[in-house]
Amino acid sequence: MKKIIAFAGSNSKKSINGQLIEYVAAQITSASVSVIQLTDLDIPMYSIDIETAQGFPVDVTILKNKISESDGLILSVNEHNGTVSAFFKNILDWLSRVDRNFLSGKKILLMSTSPGARGGKTALEYTKGFLPHVGGNVVESFSFPSFQENFDDASKAITNPTLDMGVGEVIASFLQEVDG
């Protein structure tokens, strides 16, 4: 069985990107999906001084190893002021210091959502452009618009049938690429 890891780029306990990750992970039955909570990791703000004095944080190395052992990744990025959050950028910075090509050969389903109609599209596009620089292969991506209007917190489900069908198609295409 293929191994997929999934995580949101947000450090919010009520992250809508985290909710989207949980929903998508629950839809996958043909692979083993592990959802990682990045906020559970002890990763300081990147600094060359910290790297020089202390080396790489243990949790960065653990995360890098989990990525290496996986067949694919599902990522959902949040947007702060038109770009990815400093939290997520910090994770990427540390991972790229451990291994410049830490996503080498990894198939990625990239997502974003926000309360607004654009669904975090600017952060999605930034990340989509960045991930190939560290070896990633974004095989599918989507921006989920107006999260609160299209997702029910109580049932943890997409309420818009068109969006639900589209998300299902993207997941199926991603899994086909991972199985490749």
* Angle CA 106–107–109, to nearest 5: 130
Which tokens hold the place of 9?
Answer: 């780029």
- What's the helix, strand, coil split of the chain in %, to 5? 45, 20, 30
Domain of 45 in residue numbering reads as 3-179
Q: What's the predicted TM-score (pTM) here? A: 0.96
Which tokens hold the place of 156?
Answer: 């943890």
pLDDT digits (tens, 9 = 90+) for 60-118: 999 999 999 999 999 999 999 889 999 999 999 999 999 999 999 999 999 999 999 99
Total of domains in the chain: 1
Paired with 79 in beta bridges are: 84
pLDDT of residue 54: 96
pLDDT beyond 90 at 31: yes
In angstroms, rounded to a whole number, what is the distance separating the alpha carbons of residues 171 and 68? 21
pLDDT beyond 90 at 180: no
Q: Which CATH number do you get for residue 147?
A: 3.40.50.360
In angstroms, rounded to a whole number, what is the distance separating the alpha carbons of residues 65 and 165? 33
